[in-house]
Amino acid sequence: MKDTGIFKAMKLCKDYEKMSEQKKQEIRRERLENIVNYARQSSPYYKKLYEKVPEDFSLSDLPPTDKKL
């Protein structure tokens, strides 16, 4: 993950507020894909858990998790 300074974060938030809903959806989708891909690559647990999740997934396609092992 990137280290973002406070002023850059504030600017990103302000820019986000001005975006169209379609652009916001695109950003959310990209961030979700990045998180899932990172989890798949970095964790044996999530690699196995997400192995049946299709490439073109939605948040509801992800299996639920809990702290119980």
3-56 pLDDT, tens digit per residue, is 778 999 899 899 989 999 999 999 999 999 999 999 999 999 999 999 999 989
Distances (CA, A) of 50 to 9, 56, 60: 30, 12, 12
Question: What is the length of the chain?
Answer: 69
Between 1 and 19, the higher pLDDT residue: 19
